[in-house]
Amino acid sequence: MSAGDVTSAPSALDDRAAEAERSVGELFGARLGPLPRTHLARVVHPADHGRSTRAAAGTWNYWWQAHYLDAIVDAGLRALRVGDRAGAELRARHGDRLLATIRLRNGLRWVNAYYDDMAWLALATGRLRDLHERVGRTARRRRLAGADRHLTAQLRSAHTDDLGGGLFWNRTRDFKNSPATAPAALHLARSGAADEARRLLDWVYARLWSQQSGLVLDGIRLQGGVEVLVPDVWSYNQGTVLGALLELGDAESRSRAAALVAAVDAGLTTEVDGARVLRTHGGGDGGLFTGILVRHLATAASPASGLGDAPRATARRLVHDTAEALWRGRAPLELPGRRDPSVFPVAPGAPAPRPPLELSPQLQAWTVLEAAATLG
């Protein structure tokens, strides 16, 4: 471990995150078709239900796999926190196999038609590289560097002066939005391109920030040469903007981050058993949205964020109370011959669903529980 790592015994929150990791892996982890030494997450359990039977040629959830990779990295960092170096190395190798399979499934390339998809994979790949560095592994650096190079170039190609800045959502180039711009800003900030990241965030605040709610709106669409605001509010956009602001860390960014935490608490929560918890967005793509927000709220709650006591306490409360509600709502699923995995509710306070199960809400619960574990 590096000199700055702090080792502690596993806590109850660590154990909860480990149970979510085990359960998601048990229910959804699989090879790509018959190919050995490959790994992806199926999008539904059981495997023979619906679109999962078309794993090799059908629906391709590129960005869900990026968040699966992020969760595997979370588990590796958790292993490091409790002094399990071998466990961290195992997760790093697991991440390598997943990343290689993502490229294989994507036609032996990193490039995708959607810039937000590529931003998510760029973020996860960067975190996998950091995990490798922390465990002292040098393997697969060429693949990691290649992914970073190709994905970063694609993101920069979507950052144009059209509509005053920001990133296009996809190759159609008629929609600039927060889902592409904010994770790209976070990736660039982590990569050392602070000025470029700041320009992207300034565009978000100039064009997509609601003064009334304090929250970030979805995007601006070009229709017949006319700009049309898409005013939808999604939790993940708040999360990636928050993460990018915290990564920049200057005084203006910290002020914006503190205000955004307060706006999330005021506008994106609901009451469950007397606690204010974060709202979720159902299944499908929306099943990942709140998990993304929680990941960055956990960063905001850390003393290293540079935020004041009040926003840090608010962020911590939202992370812990949301994680607690998801944990309380879990239920076992009987699998013959195997230890029963836990199934987590799609929304805090709701019952756990029964099969068929969708990957995204279960992966979201894992992400939330990993975030809570980082705060102790």
Alpha helices in the chain, H assignment, sequence order? 12-28, 62-81, 85-105, 115-135, 141-158, 178-190, 194-207, 235-248, 251-267, 289-301, 309-328, 359-375
Contact 283, 346 (CB under 8 A): yes
What average pLDDT does the segment 113-140 reach? Answer: 93
Structure tokens, 275: 């606690």
pLDDT in tens, 237-262: 999 999 999 999 999 999 999 999 99
**Domain-wise residue ranges, the chain:** 162-233
**Quick check: 302 pLDDT over 50?**
yes
For residue 141, the model assigns a pLDDT of 83
For residue 59, the model assigns a pLDDT of 75
Average pLDDT, the chain: 94
For residue 147, the model assigns a pLDDT of 97
Name residue 324's amino acid. E
Instruction: Using pLDDT thresholds of 50, 70 and 90, give the confidence band for residue 6.
Output: low
Look at the pTM and tell me if it is higher than 0.85.
yes
Rounded to 5°, the CA angle 87-90-93 comes to: 155
Q: What percent of the chain has pLDDT over 90?
A: 90
312-166-364-366 Cα dihedral, nearest 10 degrees: -60
For residue 47, the model assigns a pLDDT of 85
Q: How many CA atoms lie within 13 A of 134 on its CB side?
A: 27
pLDDT in tens, 178-229: 999 999 999 999 999 999 999 999 999 999 999 999 999 999 999 999 999 9
What average pLDDT does the segment 348-371 reach? Answer: 98
CA distance 55 to 32: 7
For residue 139, the model assigns a pLDDT of 64
CA distance 144 to 360: 25
- Distance of CA 250 to CAs 141, 256, 292, 304, Å? 31, 10, 23, 13
For residue 81, the model assigns a pLDDT of 97
3-state DSSP call for residue 237?
helix
- Of the candidate ranges 56-65, 82-91, 177-186, 327-336, the one whose mean pLDDT is the lowest: 56-65
Contact 188, 240 (CB under 8 A): no
CA distance 185 to 240: 8
